[in-house]
Amino acid sequence: MRIVQVANFYTPTSGGQRIALDKVGRGYREAGHERILIVPGRVESVEQTPSGRRVTVRGVGLPGLGDYRVLTARRRVLRLLDAAPPDVLEVSDKISLVWLARWSRRRGVPLVLFSHERLDAILRSRVPRWTPLRAAADTINRRLSGLADEVIVTSAFSAAEFERIGAPNVRRIPLGVDLAEFRPAADVDEVRSVADGSSSATHASPRGDRPVLLVTVTRLSREKRPEAAIDTLGVLCARGVDARLVVIGDGPQRRPLERRARGLPVTLLGHLSDRPAIARLVAAADVALFPCPVESFGLATLEALACGTPVVVPPEGAARELLGGPGSGVVSDGTPRGMAEAVLDLIALPEAQRRAAARAGAERYPWGATVTGLLNGYELISRRTDAEVSASG
């Protein structure tokens, strides 16, 4: 089976969507299928990657979104599809779905929308408060679900916006985590001196041993609320807790965050492309903070759990769905004060208990289960489409 994936907002520094596309694409290849990914970029290129062929088409950048680009060369994309017609067209972008749906209908190719974001949530911080987001999202989602043969969502939070309009073609398949790459550290103290910017892993603290090391892995953009992690550290420091924070990620809010962090033990590492290095840093932390209230899944949250690092998440969004047993994490009220209380609750537990609980929670989500779920559905859709074409002919 040839599966063509089309996506916007895919760059070397983008986060969850890029990781998901690459991991799923690699799974398709390892299962014996052909995978082609079409994404926008500054210049055109064709590359062979471990996840299959990646075709970059010149795209247009969007103000305020860094290097994120969108596919505007429609004829070029359609020529690529005509040259290598897919058995399934998987679209990871709602902007492009309408014109790609026209092509798929003409060609009799099943079209699947992989919904990586919840519209009413992701737009909340970008439009005036009086905007009727729910009504607008419902209108858009009715059209999207009508254009797609199937809509893939990754969480109950993501499914809710389609369920409330009664969309009949929604399937929930959680994403996964590389449990070999993201795993608990063999010796936490060995990497803490790098992670927390100190030369020693043993400093005085309220716990009588070492500082509380916090970490957050996120795009530094408004909807992700990275400032809440810095403010949480501020609350802890004001209470006399010896704590520090490592921020992994970059984005348009970096300079405001640097100003906000002045006077606090915060290290902003920027974007790291070295995934094993990220895993080591996260595994060294005592607690990982994920304040974003609009996560449609929470891939970075799952990776932290896989590292044996318990998490603090807000009451909104999908990240809370990933928590396992007691000690794996806390659903806070989303405020810096509430997140600080959650941190204190977690570090009051025995370290071995909370790290084991976090890891056990992540082990429910291997990438293999994601790929198998997708492929099983695609086989059914493809056979159904073939039958419909034969009946109409």
Q: Which structural domain, as residue segments, surrounds residue 156?
A: 2-176+366-392
- Asked if residue 370 and residue 295 are part of one domain, the reply reads no
Portion of the chain with pLDDT greater than 70, in percent:
89
- Asked if residue 257 and residue 222 are part of one domain, the reply reads yes
pLDDT tens digits along 371-385: 999 999 999 988 877
CA distances from 259 to 113, 228, 229, 335 (A): 40, 14, 14, 20
Look up tokens 């063999």; give the residue: 186
The predicted model gives 122-139 an average pLDDT of 80
Is the distance from CB of 77 to CB of 104 less than 8 angstroms?
A: no
Secondary structure class of 226 (helix, strand, coil):
coil
Phi, psi of 242 (to 5 degrees): -80, 95
- Asked if residue 125 and residue 232 are part of one domain, the reply reads no
- Asked if residue 134 and residue 117 are part of one domain, the reply reads yes
The predicted model gives 141-145 an average pLDDT of 94
241 versus 8: the higher-pLDDT residue is: 241
pLDDT at residue 56, rounded to an integer: 94
- Asked if residue 123 and residue 143 are part of one domain, the reply reads yes
Q: Is the pLDDT of residue 351 over 80?
A: yes
pLDDT at residue 390, rounded to an integer: 61
pLDDT at residue 202, rounded to an integer: 35
pLDDT at residue 383, rounded to an integer: 80
- Residue 101 sits in a domain whose CATH number is 3.40.50.2000
What does the mean pLDDT of the chain come to? 89
Band (pLDDT 50/70/90 cuts) for residue 205 is: very low
pLDDT at residue 207, rounded to an integer: 44
Closest CA to 347 of 259, 281, 283, 287: 287
pLDDT tens digits along 72-110: 899 999 999 999 999 999 998 887 888 999 999 999 999
Q: Is the sign of the CA dihedral 358, 363, 369, 371 positive or negative?
A: positive
pLDDT at residue 109, rounded to an integer: 94
- Asked if residue 203 and residue 77 are part of one domain, the reply reads no
- Asked if residue 92 and residue 39 are part of one domain, the reply reads yes
Q: The pTM is what?
A: 0.90
- Asked if residue 332 and residue 206 are part of one domain, the reply reads yes
- Asked if residue 297 and residue 149 are part of one domain, the reply reads no
pLDDT at residue 195, rounded to an integer: 53
pLDDT at residue 138, rounded to an integer: 93
pLDDT tens digits along 5-60: 999 888 776 678 889 999 999 999 999 999 999 999 888 999 999 999 999 998 88
pLDDT at residue 121, rounded to an integer: 80
285 vs 236: CA distance, rounded Å:
16
pLDDT tens digits along 255-312: 999 999 999 999 999 999 899 999 999 999 999 999 999 999 999 999 999 999 999 9
